[in-house]
Each structure stands twice: as structure tokens, then as C-alpha cells.
A and B are shown apart, each in its own frame.
Chain A
């Protein structure tokens, strides 16, 4: 079974969110980069677990981004991918990214494509769904469990207010979230092995973006907390009713 895991580079969760060039660019100054947590903790680790159960599983990683994404891809290889492909396109338009991945996916004829539920920077939650249309394959979004049984995938996904389990033949695209697997830390052997694992660079083939970022803004700061004495809960209820008007 061939698995393609989509990997995105995102700022660390504690990174300071600031903008430059007249609020049109994310300020990368001093930012630490990580593998998007949904891609790493859930998709990639689940793929590795599948490989641990079945040695015939081959894991390819794909990232669409500039050369500065390579440390992230190496870390993913250290965790357990077999080979990686970087498409040299730094577009922030999901449609462009999805088309680049679709081209790789078509060439590799994967049985299973995993993405994270969303990235923690642009929160688009779009790539899996776009691949569904571009590849005309089944897609299950926001999955919390994934088992492979021969040529069948058994997937549990989140629905509003619960969970639903479904079966589908391979190939399938699944976007992963919490529940799927537990976070791992690469070990020394993995890190050494990752140095020599193949990392292929493919030139960008899609240029036309459908959207463009005009401007970023930070939310207005809170005006400050109003402290209420712990013995005055009637007062808090009154404020919630009459001032905040939320109860």
C-alpha cells in the first residue's frame, strides 16, 4: 500500500503573530517553524503505525513550499516517512497547493492520501476536499480513526454532535485530527536515517492563483478584565445579564 502524507510548515504555536510590509506579510522574524501539528501528530504518525503493522506500506511525504521547508520535511522523514517530495511553489493559495499535490498524487498512484484537518496558520481546511474533486476519489474529513483492512478503509469522522464510522474502498483521501494517533518524538536512529532518505524537488507547475491576500489585522485588544470579589457572585450574574447581556 502506498500512502501519501501531506506536510505543511507552520509557525510554532507560541510564535508571536505580527505583520510587516504594511500588514501584508507575516513577520517571520524570530519565528520557529514546525510541522503543522495536525499533519504530524495525526496523519504522519497514523501512517507510521500502519507501516509498523504492515511492512508493505510505503510512506511518501509531499510538501508544497520553498527550500526553507526542508528542515521540516527532514524531521518528518526522521519520524518515519520513506521518501519526500517538495514542490517548489511558495503560493499561499490553497487551490494552487492542491493542484500541485494532485499532480504528485496522480503520478504516484497512492492508495491512501492523508492531510491534517487544517493548518494552524491559514486554517483553510481545504486541501483534502480539493483533492477529492481533482482526483475524483472518496474523501472523509475530520477523521478521528482510520483502519485499513485489505483494500478497504474503515474511517470514523467527526459529525456535528458525534461521530460516524464508514467503510470505503481504497483509494481514499482522509483529513486527520485528534484521536487518530499520539504525538511521537524522532529518535536518534530516525534522525540519522533521515539524512540519506530521498528528498526530491519538483519545480512548480501551477502559477495562477484564485485568491490573493490583501491585508492582515490583529484583533482589537480587550479593554481589560473587570475583577469580581469571589463572595459577590450575585454581582457577576447581574453583570452577565445586564452589561454583557449573554444570559
Chain B
């Protein structure tokens, strides 16, 4: 059986977990087995609806104390629950919480693990998982040699597929250790889609000259309904908040569309964005290295091109 870990925050199922279910369900089908899910804590949603994404059963450890994430506690409970439910493969989203506990769960189950998988494993001869390495500059195919296997799947790399179906619910009786981590404050960027979940991203670099010039970029993002990102020097100079920094040492993202404005395309920047499906580069320098990694390019001054693009998008939306 393939078991998918459902991550939750504020008692809501994380979007990344729906993709993990789609991935786990496709893997189960390939292996001729079924896919089930496991969730810790309680959520507002009707969990039977997760059947739509391909799981037949949802195991729940319905203890409210698990609604606060504690890596040690969650990993311990998850490992115990996996033993009760019985699974050959456990799939996590490669998001903040998934990364924090999947390796610990692997240790507890004596399982081999591959984190950051970018495609379905090959299962015809052993169990080989392809993952991104060197920050997206290459792929590695890694064979897991243990009977139980753990995978975390890169966000936006498989996609979410939903069909028909409902899942049955089963409560698991697992004893929950007391957490010794006390959460004292939570600070959420209101109303914004987290960068790692965004499908459309507009990003700015040093070419925009200063924080006071970000208006053109924000207008474009608003017209598109896109999230905003930036290059490292931009966040280092505090022109934009740190959580917008993408690249080798920032967030690695894989949106459907990445629009880079006034960013030169340094190798360290590309490492964070080169898995984007479509890249548009707007730069006044035709020699900017970013054009080599782009699908569409506009050679021109951002302060003219970007407002024109925003206007064109609004026009196209109005006529649609």
C-alpha cells in the first residue's frame, strides 16, 4: 500500500498534500496496489472528499494537540501510525513540514528515503526515484534498497489530478507524546499565496533600481493574480522582504509562469527558478544571461515594457 501524509495548517489541508495524493495514487496504480492517506490532528474539511484525488481510505489520529506542528511528536506519531496501517511506500509533500518530518519517519521505519522527487519512481526493476540535485541544475536517479520506502515530492512537479470518489475514514489509536515545544507567535503574510505554491510569479531584480519603483511590478502581479519574488541583492538591500528571495540560497520554485524583470540571470538565481514551466525575461541588456534560459524575451526598459504588458493583460481579460 502507498500511504500519503496529509499536511495541515490551521486545520486546513495543505494544497501541496493534494498533489502528493495525486502522485501517491498514480504510484499505487503503477504498483498494482491501493493508495491511502494519513492525517494527524483534526481539520475542518470533510476528509472523505480526499477520495477525489485517488485515496480509498484516510487514517486519522484525531488528537487536537497534533494541530500544532512539532517535528519530533509528528514524526513519532506518524511512524507508529504507519506501522498500524501497514505501508510499503510513504509519500510526503516536499514542503516545510514534509521536509521536517519525512527523514525522521524514515529513520524510525528503517526506510530509505529520497527527498525532492520530480517524477514517479521506476518500479519495474527495483525502486528508482528521480530527484532534482544541484539546486535544479541536474537530476539524480536514486535506488532505494530497503523494503519500506519514503519519498517527498517537489511542489508543482506532478500536478493535482482529481476525479470521482470518496474515501472511508478510519481513526487510529496511537498514543501522542506531549510536545515540549511551545509556539509563541505565528506571523502570516495575509492574503498572499505562498511563493512555493504560486503558479504565477512576477519577480524583480536590481534593474528596478530601488524599492520606490516596485509599483510597476506590483501592478503587473495584480493584473495577473501572481505572487511576487525578487533576486537576492534586492532582498539583501531590504528593498523587498526576505521571503521573496528566490534562487540557490532562497526559495526554489517551479511555477507555470515566471516573469523576470531587471534580473540578469546569474547561475545562483537560475538555480531557484529554472524548473518554471515558462520563463519570460524583460531586460534592457540583450546580452543578459537570463535570455538563454527564457522561453520569451523582451529587450527593453522595464519601466516602459512592464506597464505596457500590464495594460495588455487587463485588455485581454476585459475582452474575455
Contact = CB atoms under 8 A, between A and B. Distances in A.
B181 A129 contact: no
Contacts of B308: 230-231, 233
Nearest to B155: A160
A164 B99 contact: no
Interface in A209-232: 209-219, 222, 225-231
A213 B142 contact: yes
Contacts of B95: 160
A49 interface: no
A124 interface: yes
A121 B133 contact: yes
Chain A binding site: helix, strand, loop or mixed by DSSP? mixed
Interface in A81-112: 93-95, 98
Nearest to B255: A246
A90 B162 CA distance: 43
B145 A165 contact: no
B128 A214 contact: yes
Contact of B183 (A14, A93, A166): A166
Interface stretch (B40-48, B107-115, B207-215): B107-115
B133 A247 contact: no
Interface in B87-108: 95-97, 99-108
18 contacts: A13-B248, A19-B138, A120-B248, A125-B115, A126-B115, A138-B72, A162-B194, A165-B185, A168-B180, A214-B128, A216-B138, A217-B130, A233-B309, A236-B298, A244-B278, A244-B295, A246-B256, A247-B313
B281 A225 contact: yes
Interface residues on B, range: 35 or more
A167 interface: yes
B24 to A, nearest CB: 19
B277 A246 contact: yes
B294 A212 contact: no
Contact of B293 (A162, A222, A236): A222
Given A160-B16, A218-B139, A238-B316, 10 more contacts: A98-B107, A120-B134, A124-B115, A160-B194, A160-B196, A219-B137, A236-B296, A237-B316, A244-B277, A247-B200
A30 interface: no
B134 A133 contact: no
Nearest to A155: B181
Contacts of B107: 95, 98, 130, 133-134
Interface stretch (B27-35, B49-57, B59-67, B266-274): B266-274
Contacts of B297: 225-228
Interface-centre pick from A144, A167, A237 (highest chain B CB count, 10 A): A237
B292 interface: yes
B96 A133 contact: no
Interface of A: 11, 13-14, 17, 19, 37-38, 41, 93-95, 98, 120-130, 132-134, 136-142, 144, 154, 157-169, 178-179, 209-219, 222, 225-231, 233-234, 236-241, 244, 246-247
Contacts of B292: 222, 225
B299 interface: yes
B140 interface: yes
Contacts, number: 278
A167 B309 contact: no
Nearest to A126: B103
A211 B144 contact: yes
Nearest to B104: A133
Contacts of A37: 248-249
Contact of A233 (B96, B196, B312): B312
A41 B250 CA distance: 13
A164 B186 contact: yes
A140 B313 CA distance: 42
Interface in B255-291: 256-257, 267-268, 271, 274, 277-278, 280-281, 291
B309 A213 contact: no
Contact of B113 (A169, A179, A211): A211
Given A129-B102, A129-B104, A161-B189, A95 B304 contact: no
Contacts of A123: 115-116, 131-135, 252
Contacts of B112: 93, 95, 210-211
Contact of B104 (A17, A132, A218, A241): A132
Given A95-B112, A164-B183, A215 B141 contact: yes
Contact of A167 (B182, B192, B274): B182
Interface-centre pick from B132, B192, B292, B296 (highest chain A CB count, 10 A): B296
B316 A234 contact: yes
Contacts of B291: 225
